[in-house]
Structure formats: C-alpha cells, structure tokens
Structure 1
Amino acid sequence: MSPRTVAIFVDAGFFNRIFTKVVDPDMQMSPDDLAKRMWHYWIKHVDRRNGENLYRIYYYDCPPLTLKAQHPITNKQIDFSKSDITIYKNRLHEALLHQPYVACRMGQLSTLDKDWGFIRKDKIHSFNKLIRGEVNIADIDPNNVSIRPRQKGVDMKLGVDITSVVLKKLANKIILISGDSDFVPAAKLARIEGAHFILDAMGRKVKGELAEHIDGLKSFIHHVNKSQISASD
C-alpha cells in the first residue's frame, strides 16, 4: 500500500474556542506563539513514523470586525477596527500564514443582527446564569463582551475544498477538526472516493449523521500540555 497523504481541514470557530481554553485560558499568549502551538497540534494528525505525508492544512475563519457600535454596558462607542481583539486576530492570521503548509481560507461576517455575547465563558460570564438572575451585572467585565457576528461562506468553502482535494487525488486521508454535521456530504464523498475520513471533535460528543460517515475519531486535546506541545510526539 502506498503511503498516505494527509490533508487537514480546521473549522477555526470550533477549534479556537476549545484550544485556547486549554493552552491560553488567561489570553496572555502572543499571536506568534499561539500560531505555533496550533500548528504543532494539527501536525500530530500526520503519522510520519508510518510514512504519512502532509499535503496541506486548510484553516477556515473570517476577518475580524471592523465596524463601529455602542457597547451595551459602558455605552461607549467602539471602533472594532482598532480593538485589541481585531489587532490580535489579524496578527494571528498573519502568523499562521508563516507556518509550513498552512492556507487560510476566509469567509465573511454578517453583522446585520448585532448580537452581543461573551468572548470567554466562565462562572460569571455565562448567558444562562445571567438570564436566571444568578450573576451580578456589576461583576461582568466589559472587555469580555463583544458583538458575536455570524459567519458566512466558511462551511461552503470547507466542504468544496474537501471535495476538490479528494476528487483530484491530492490526499487520501482527510482530517476534519470540527463538530458540525453540515460536513456530512463531504465526508460521504471522501469515503466513496476511497479516502479515509478522520474526525477530531476536540473531545466533544459527535451526534447525528456525522458519526455515521467517518472512519474514526482521533483527538489530542486531552494530552495538550499548557507549556509545550511537541510536534515530534
């Protein structure tokens, strides 16, 4: 049997939320360091000891917010294009592009519905506790509150790219890091074309059809060391 060629597809919205809670819960890491940690996590899916080769890592995200809006707590006008979050995310995208084999595929943000939410959730910053009256509004950190726009075009790009890579025989092992059942058609096609389809759900339970149309589950999130992620493991 010829060596497998691996293509990795990363749903950034899903991956970043879980990964950063483990490796950078206090949001102190630089974009360059976080990009390296992310890359080392992804590359663990390539079994180089058994001859597997990496074709490419596709990272699907959206550019950060650049609009202006009034903060619901402080009532201050916020220019998101100059916010720390926007600056950090732009630098992270740039840092990822400097990692080997990484391609960033960008969708768009829909800001028609300006829904606000918590950037990071914890015992205080919990929407469910807030609506139940279990949280003192004065304890909420305004810096942890931001507009939560909807992504547009990301899932479609991801599904089309998986299809293209498989049909063109560019890779015969697909790693999908996501928990979204919208990718069932891409998983079905990959398996029909003879590719192995492995899902990394980052320790989350896989429900519905997606669990039926994969060749296996594999995740390294529970083995991630906060101080170091070795690419050689």
Structure 2
Amino acid sequence: MAGKTIKPTSGSEVRPANAPDVPTSSSNDIAAFVAKARAMSPHRAGARGRLVFALDATMSRQPTWDLACTLQADMFREAGALGSLDIRLVYYRGFNECRASGWISDSAQLARLMSKIDCQGGNTQIGKVLSETRREAVAAGVRALVFVGDAMEESADALCASAGELGLLKVPVFMFQEGADATAEQTFREIARLTGGAWCRFDPGAAAQLRELLRAAAAYAAGGREALLQLAKTTSGAAKLIGQMK
C-alpha cells in the first residue's frame, strides 16, 4: 500500500482529512457550532453511538497498528451488548497524509480496511485528527474520540485550542499512549483534561492493556457514562477512564 491512494469501497471510503491544524473560529462561530451539535446530540434516545478511532500510522507504529487491527473487533462486541456503534477510522502517516473513512458499523469491514494500510515514516498530525473530529461532531454527532499514539511533534498550544473546542461540544478524547515519551504525555494529558476525557499509558505490544482500554471507550460511546460505570466494576481499563472523566 505504500505510496498508493486507497480507493473508496462501499461504506468505508477513505478520504483526505485536510482541516487546518489551528482553529480560527470567532466566538460567534463557536456558539453556532455548539448549538448545532447539541441539537443533534448522539446521546439522544435511540441514537447510534459514534466513535472516532484515530491512530498514528507513522513508521514506528506498525506493530501497534497490527495489534489495533486485531483488537478493534472487541470494541464492536462490547458496544453490541449495550446498543450499536459506528466507527470512523482516522489515521496519518508519511508526508502530510491524513485520511478518514466513512462510518463503519461492522468489525469485519473495518478489519479489511485496516489490513490495506501500512505504516509510513512521517511526523505526527494530531491537529488534523482533532479538527476532523470537530467537523464530524458538528456535521453528524460524535460521542467520543479514541487516539492511539506514542509521540507528539506539533504545537501543544494549538492542539489544546482544538481540544478546547471538542470540550465545548462535549466530545471526550481518550488519549491512549504507548510508551513513556514525556513530551507526548504532557500534551496528551492536557487534551484529555480539556475535553473531559482520559489519558492512559499502555506498554508496547501489551494486547491485554490496550484491549481493556478500547473496550471501555466503546462502552462509553455506545452507552454513555452509566455503561462505563458498570464496566468499571469488573475491568481496570474502564476504572482508569471513569476515574479521570469529569
């Protein structure tokens, strides 16, 4: 897949996510999109849970990408016991490439899509992930963003400004950090705090740790805070998230 544009397939089109990293919204703009997002809140009765699943797909991430590809089915299974879940895959890699899929409601379909993507060298583009999530939250409603990565090479202030807008939209961000990079941790923690989400670290290649975190995020996306509270009674991953969320 290196160097190739992914061709659209039914229900899983992958398109460039080229929103600017730094928001330039006026106070009136912010008020307008907050009002619109609340009017079409994904938390309303009968709404499908919507989760943006974002991954760093730069070169160092191939083992974790493969692991996430295997574990993503657990998110659908966890959500299935509570209601329904649609997932939008967002990833960045290479030179300024950031792409987003359509909404996917089937784990096999998401697995097929992820299997076509390989990791490529490049810098982080977390700002585009946050901007894409903000855009989708206003357009269609988003219940949560999950980000899995190990580094941060952007302006922390710009990322926090974008995170603040997601906080206004009531979209918590779950920042799952692989490894112990101190710069990444500081910014990831702040993004989580500003959005009412949570930050958690998992060890490289730790399938059990990441599985619990992804299951917990899916439970929240499908069933809200109550579902996460119930799961926290039996799993440490959910307990870690609920312990940080506002």
TM-score using structure 1 length: 0.44
- More helix, by proportion: 2
- More strand, by proportion: 1
